[in-house]
């Protein structure tokens, strides 16, 4: 009786539609690319003979050939043939490792090969997150025969704009940690091997990131020039090098629905949001546009209950495998489980700590409300007089000194993956005590305010040099003072006209800068306050702008910058909040 009830419950929730299959694993499946390079994969599939729907998973991190991959095993048990492949130049696969450059063509070739195999029924989807999500976008843009759906989790859609940089500022700790330390062109030289216990102070990760010029920093830990890392530095703007591999340039070529999944504190949040909005607006078929979906939770680089300093609780977690299984069962097996008819957007509202389905992103009917900066001229730090007001006041200004030798330390935010700073929501008060951080705060709220959507800062400001950075954080201040960051954005000033249009500043001239802060969903509760922090560094998450105007990576020295932020009057600096009904 108990077993029958359990079966009914699992069937009702979609978690058990049929008994699990016995499986077999076939190693070293050789897949020939169009240029003759052979990539190798492991095949997980049901043991019973037959033709099965296929999941293609392409990874630079290894297929775990010395073990059994638990997720691929579960998919095979549920009736899928799963081809897990080492990308070009990684592990067993032939060719040269050059991140991002071959994934479109190699992905297309692999999907079409898989669709034709005797164990395949001809229907293919792609699975995976982070780099494994990016390769899905790349392959889908080539319209491979047999591909019917993708599920890119925590994935970038524009390698330049929402991976290598944000607002043109170089993501130093992630790019160095991933591109040089973790994913180099070749094995690190023996003289550079160190254990954590015996690493010389000058070779510790956090110290290497201070090295100038950036362009030869790879020599400090790898002992050789890392070709792809140097190429990233050389191509500092959104030029042809980057546009050639940008998924956002090719959404109109993607013919299949995409389930986008990400976190409010993930390093690739902008890619997750852009993947949804780009496909809804430009997807290559009506079905792809209509059935592409978005899920964003209070997570970092994948679903969790706690991130940073904040425990969001049991309800914040999402069973990603169960969601993937429903998605693939519908598109690969034809299961009418209703996933195609669900609301296209499901987002988690922090502050209220609840999920809500929405009909689009941005949320229909959003009211974009400006919240203006104001002060008596001394908004420096928590002890200053910075205010946020719903109407613009009289003209005023605040000033601070940005010294790249003493940068504001990264404290939470949209980061990930082994960098020396913890991502997520963290108490911002330690950095808000600094004089080089301008702090603007509302009075205590007497009623809740919900926001969900893109957040932007329109800043009227000047610097005394040819270039600098503007770093903005939106903060939810609790009654006990805990200052929780909920959105952030940065702009390298030379990119104020566009990421592909760098132009240095005229020292002392006031410009209007628009800083994109990606997006968030948060309810500011009664008793809380809304806060905006403004500064010019966030290190080591981003490289320090040396304020010299030299090309990225070239500066061996830095200069101190004197910054002026204007507000009120004709230069009414403000943050734009996407206000929505309470969830």
CA pair distance 285, 281, nearest whole angstrom = 10
Yes or no: say if 113 and 291 are a contact pair by the CB < 8 Å rule: no
Q: Which residues contact 289 (CB under 8 A, 6 or more apart)?
A: 279, 280, 281, 282, 283
Residue 127's Cα: distance from chain center in Å?
17
Q: What residues are paired with 457 via a beta bridge?
A: 515, 575
Yes or no: say if 491 and 469 are a contact pair by the CB < 8 Å rule: yes
* Active-site annotation holder among 69, 134, 301, 330: 301
* Active-site annotation holder among 93, 130, 237, 537: 130
Question: Is residue 130 annotated as part of the catalytic site, yes or no?
Answer: yes
Question: Is residue 436 annotated as part of the catalytic site, yes or no?
Answer: no
* Active-site annotation holder among 109, 218, 266, 516: 266
DSSP string spanning 200-224? -GGGSHHHHTT-SSGGGTHHHHTSS
Specify the DSSP element, H or E, that contains 174: helix 172-176
DSSP string spanning 337-348? -SGGGS-SEEEE
CA pair distance 126, 579, nearest whole angstrom = 36
Yes or no: say if 86 and 41 are a contact pair by the CB < 8 Å rule: yes
Q: What are all long-range contacts of 236-240, with beta carbons under 8 Å and residues at least 24 apart?
A: 236/168, 236/170, 236/502, 236/551, 236/552, 236/553, 237/168, 237/495, 237/499, 237/500, 237/501, 237/502, 238/160, 238/161, 238/498, 238/499, 238/500, 239/500
Active-site amino acid positions: 130, 266, 301
């Amino acid at each position: 009786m108990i077993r029958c009830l359990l079966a009914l419950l699992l069937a009702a929730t979609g978690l058990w539609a049929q008994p699990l299959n016995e499986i077999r694993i076939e190693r070293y499946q050789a897949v020939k690319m169009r240029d003759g390079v052979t990539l190798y994969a492991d095949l997980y599939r049901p043991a019973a003979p037959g033709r099965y729907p296929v999941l293609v998973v392409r990874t630079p991190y290894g297929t775990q050939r010395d073990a059994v991959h638990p997720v691929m095993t579960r998919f095979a048990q549920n009736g899928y043939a799963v081809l897990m492949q080492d990308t070009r130049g990684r592990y067993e696969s032939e060719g040269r490792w050059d991140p991002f450059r071959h994934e479109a063509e190699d992905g297309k070739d692999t999907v079409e090969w898989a669709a034709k195999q005797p164990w395949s029924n001809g229907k293919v989807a792609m699975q995976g997150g982070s780099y494994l999500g990016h390769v899905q976008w790349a392959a889908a843009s080539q319209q491979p025969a047999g591909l019917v759906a993708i599920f890119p989790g925590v994935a970038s859609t524009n390698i330049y704009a929402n991976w290598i940089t944000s607002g043109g500022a170089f993501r130093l700790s992630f790019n160095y940690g991933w591109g040089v330390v973790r994913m180099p062109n070749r094995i690190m030289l023996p003289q550079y091997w160190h254990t954590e216990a015996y690493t010389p102070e000058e070779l510790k990760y956090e110290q290497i990131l201070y090295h100038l010029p950036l362009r030869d920093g790879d020599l400090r830990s790898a002992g050789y020039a890392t070709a792809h890392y140097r190429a990233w530095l050389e191509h500092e703007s959104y030029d042809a090098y980057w546009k050639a591999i940008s998924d956002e340039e090719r959404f109109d070529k993607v013919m299949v629905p995409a389930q986008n999944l990400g976190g409010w504190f993930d390093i690739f949040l902008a890619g997750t949001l852009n993947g949804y909005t780009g496909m809804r607006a430009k997807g290559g078929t009506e079905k792809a546009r209509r059935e592409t979906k978005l899920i964003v939770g209070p997570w970092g680089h994948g679903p969790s209950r706690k991130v940073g300093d904040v425990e969001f609780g049991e309800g914040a977690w999402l069973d990603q495998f169960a969601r993937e299984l429903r998605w693939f069962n519908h598109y690969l097996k034809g299961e009418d489980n209703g996933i195609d008819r669900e609301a296209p957007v499901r987002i988690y509202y922090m502050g209220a700590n609840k999920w809500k389905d929405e009909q689009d992103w941005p949320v229909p009917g959003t009211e974009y409300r400006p919240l203006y900066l104001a002060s008596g001229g001394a908004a420096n730090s928590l002890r200053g007089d910075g205010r946020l007001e719903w109407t613009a006041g009289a003209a005023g200004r605040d000033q601070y000194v940005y010294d790249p030798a003493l940068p504001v330390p990264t404290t939470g935010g949209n980061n990930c993956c082994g960098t020396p700073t913890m991502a997520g929501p963290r108490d911002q008060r330690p950095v808000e005590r600094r004089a080089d951080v301008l702090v603007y705060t509302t009075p205590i709220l007497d009623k809740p305010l919900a926001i969900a959507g893109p957040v932007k800062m329109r800043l009227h400001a000047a610097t005394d040099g040819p270039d600098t950075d503007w770093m903005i954080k939106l903060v939810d201040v609790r009654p006990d003072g805990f200052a929780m960051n909920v959105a952030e954005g940065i702009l390298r000033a030379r990119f104020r006209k566009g990421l592909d249009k760098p132009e240095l500043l005229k020292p002392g001239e006031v410009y209007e800068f628009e800083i994109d802060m990606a997006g968030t969903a948060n309810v500011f509760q009664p008793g809380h306050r809304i806060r905006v922090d403004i500064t010019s560094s966030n290190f080591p998450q981003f490289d320090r702008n040396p304020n010299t105007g030299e090309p990225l990576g070239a500066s061996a020295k830095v200069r101190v910058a004197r910054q002026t932020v204007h507000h009120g009057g004709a230069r009414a600096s403000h943050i734009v909040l996407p206000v929505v009904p309470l969830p």
